[in-house]
């Protein structure tokens, strides 16, 4: 149903994210490094794409190009039909880092409120969930006044997700958000992220180095190869929705994971 809706929306709306021939070069003292080479892909609104690849393949760089943190050396990037800087200024982009990046002197709820207090956030704010509702959405009701050092790593990451969702951004960029967490917490947060995605209808671009996470979360897996960072393959994940963790025990999932692993070996 939601897939059909986003398909219909795609016909009228601009793609959520569109990259054409995107290349990023860095100058280091010894030589020029090509972080990304001629990246092309289109992401429809409301979809969930995971980025998988070996370290140094430019996954994080790709997210930063979309978020207008890094400017591409060549090629064009369109976010919701506009330049990334436009999308950033309009607060269409939420970003979740590997490290929760909470301000340690602020309580959980005040961390979620940060986007309202900088960059004219109070003005650009659309009718969306309140900070309290967002904490409830990520399962942190009752922890509003807790300080970051009183929260576990998983809880801090949930606060970071709630903060990224403030103002209902249409794009959510996640850079290995659960990479530093233990497997049990990571599984739980994977499920909660799918719940959040279904609730909000946000377009998610999710970087991971876990094959299982990539296959479980994504509707598609964009596989990147390293040196230079380039698109190796885009693998559609045709698993029934809504997904539950038990799906990982099926032969179908095992075959998918196996296929991703085989491709990864040639990246």
- The span from the CA of 106 to the CA of 149, in Å, is 10
CB of 122 to other proteins, least distance (A): 12
- The span from the CA of 171 to the CA of 175, in Å, is 13
Name which of 119 and 128 has its Cβ closer to other proteins: 119
Name which of 53 and 177 has its Cβ closer to other proteins: 177
- The span from the CA of 1 to the CA of 8, in Å, is 11
Supply the DSSP string of 58-99, one letter for each residue.
SHHHHHHHHTTSS--SEEEEEETTB-HHHHHHTT-EEEE-SS
- The span from the CA of 43 to the CA of 256, in Å, is 21
CB of 169 to other proteins, least distance (A): 10
CB of 226 to other proteins, least distance (A): 22
Tallying the residues shown for the chain, one arrives at 267
Name which of 146 and 239 has its Cβ closer to other proteins: 146
Angle subtended at Cα 46 by Cα 41 and Cα 52, rounded to the nearest 5 degrees: 45
Is residue 187 within 8 A of residue 245, CB to CB? The reply is yes
Name which of 98 and 210 has its Cβ closer to other proteins: 98
Smallest Cα–Cα separation from 247: which of 213, 221, 223, 220?
A: 213
Name which of 110 and 133 has its Cβ closer to other proteins: 110
CB of 244 to other proteins, least distance (A): 32
Binding residues for other proteins, rule: CB under 8 A, are 64, 67-69, 88-89, 91, 93-95, 97-99, 101, 103-105, 114-115, 117-121, 147-149
CB of 149 to other proteins, least distance (A): 6
Name which of 164 and 264 has its Cβ closer to other proteins: 164
CB of 115 to other proteins, least distance (A): 5
């Amino acid at each position: 149903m939601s897939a059909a809706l986003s398909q219909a929306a795609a016909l009228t709306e601009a793609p959520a994210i569109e990259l054409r021939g995107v290349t990023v070069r860095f100058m280091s003292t010894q030589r020029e490094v090509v972080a990304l080479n001629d990246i092309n892909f289109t992401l429809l609104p409301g979809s969930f794409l995971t980025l998988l690849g070996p370290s140094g393949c430019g996954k994080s760089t790709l997210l930063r190009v979309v978020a207008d943190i890094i400017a591409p050396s060549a090629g064009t990037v369109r976010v919701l039909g506009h330049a990334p800087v436009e999308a950033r200024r309009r607060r269409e982009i939420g970003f979740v880092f590997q490290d929760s990046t909470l301000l340690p002197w602020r309580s959980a709820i005040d961390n979620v409120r940060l986007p309202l207090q900088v960059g004219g956030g109070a003005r650009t704010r659309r009718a969306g969930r309140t900070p309290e509702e967002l904490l409830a959405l990520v399962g942190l009701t009752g922890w509003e006044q807790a300080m970051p050092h009183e929260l576990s790593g998983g809880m801090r990451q949930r606060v970071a997700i709630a903060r990224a969702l403030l103002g209902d951004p249409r794009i959510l960029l996640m850079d290995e958000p659960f990479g530093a967490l233990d497997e049990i917490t990571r599984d739980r947060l994977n499920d909660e992220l799918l719940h959040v995605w279904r609730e909000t209808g946000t377009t998610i671009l999710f970087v991971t180095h876990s094959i299982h996470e990539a296959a479980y979360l994504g509707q598609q897996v964009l596989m990147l190869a390293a040196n230079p960072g380039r698109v190796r393959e885009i693998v559609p994940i045709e698993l029934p929705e809504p997904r539950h963790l038990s799906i990982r025990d099926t032969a179908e999932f095992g075959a998918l994971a196996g296929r991703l692993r085989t491709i990864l070996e040639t990246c």
